[in-house]
Amino acid sequence: MKTITCKKDGTNLDCVVFGKGAKTLVLIPGLSFQRVKGAALPLAYMYRAFAKDYTVYVMDKKDTVPDGYTIRDMAEDTAFMMEYLRLSAADVVGVSQGGMIAQYLAIRHPGLVHKLVLCVTASRISETMEKAINRWIWLAREGDYAGLVADMFEKMYSEAYRKKNRRLIPLLSRIGRPKDYSRFIALAKACLTCKAYPELHQISCPAFVIGGKEDQVAAGSASEEIAGKLSCEIYMYEALGHAAYEEAKDFNQRILRFLQEPCFWP
């Protein structure tokens, strides 16, 4: 495991690298307070299913996020980092906000993407997403970390998971409290700039959509909308929501099976 950093626009772009495989997998995570730098071990463990067949690159957003930063800008930063690392024709997996970024990456830089997996994400803003993201922005501006953690917990996880793990909320509210909320707020606001839906027809690689029917952040219907537009394979977890990538034990295996399938894309 290692971390690679490159400079762009006077700030850093970080990438965690692990795995021994000959193929290339680019993972783009979602909105979080957590940076990939310093998180190599948990990331390598979470995505260990890919480490045998792939060298895995987990891409972060800029250290310093400018005002007005958009999902399209994030996609350009990801392309910049991939070109810096001399990566091309990679299999790309985007989760939540990372899925938004991955869509624009495939649209604007088709040569960088061999196969595309879009996880619990959306291609345009829905009322569900707007309410969830604006609530998180408000709580972050108020510095209410406990409230933010509690709201994320309620919106992201299934009812069964919440009942089983609700006692963890006070602990989670004390772990990872940021000194500054400005980066999170800027990244959250960027979610509301995603308008990829009218351009999805330009995606020319094989794609797979995976989501949760009970998603209270991106909305389960958003995954179905993307798959319909791309005419691609989709799998929806009936009883799971936005955190299906964490709750479903077979989530990564489903992605891996798609990535290992031969391409029959027109």
Task: Check if the beta carbon of residue 104 is closer than 8 Å to that of residue 72.
Answer: yes
Mean residue pLDDT across the chain: 93
Expressed in angstroms, the distance from the first to the final Cα of the chain is 37
β-pairing verdict for 23-28 and 54-59: parallel
DSSP output for 22-74: SEEEEEE--S-S--STT-HHHHHHHTGGGTTTEEEEEE---SSPPTT--HHHH
Those residues with Cβ within 8 angstroms of residue 144's Cβ, 6 or more apart along the chain or in another chain: none
Of 261 and 173, which is predicted with more confidence?
Answer: 261
pLDDT band at 264 (very low <50, low <70, confident <90, very high): low
- Is 172 exposed, middle or buried, given 0-12, 13-18 or 19+ CB atoms closer than 10 A? middle
- Residue 193's pLDDT band (boundaries 50, 70, 90)? very high
User: What are the structure tokens assigned to 22, written together?
Assistant: 């000959």
DSSP track, 197-243: GGGGGG--S-EEEEEETT-TTTTHHHHHHHHHHHT-EEEEETT--TT
| Angle, CA 36 vertex, CA 199 and CA 25 arms, to 5° | 55
Give the mean pLDDT of 215-232: 96
- Which 8-state DSSP code applies to residue 143? T
Residue 266 has a pLDDT of 46
Name which of 34, 80, 150 is nearest 46 in CA terms: 34
3-state SS assignment for residue 266: coil
Close Cβ partners of 95 (under 8 Å, ≥ 6 residues apart): 27, 28, 29, 30, 119, 120, 121, 245
Distance, CA of 130 to CA of 147 (rounded, Å): 18
Stated pTM of the model: 0.95
Cα–chain center distance at 13: 16
**pLDDT tens for residues 60-101?**
999 999 889 999 999 999 999 999 999 999 999 999 999 999
CA distance 194 to 125: 7
Query: In this predicted structure, what is the pLDDT of residue 225?
Result: 97
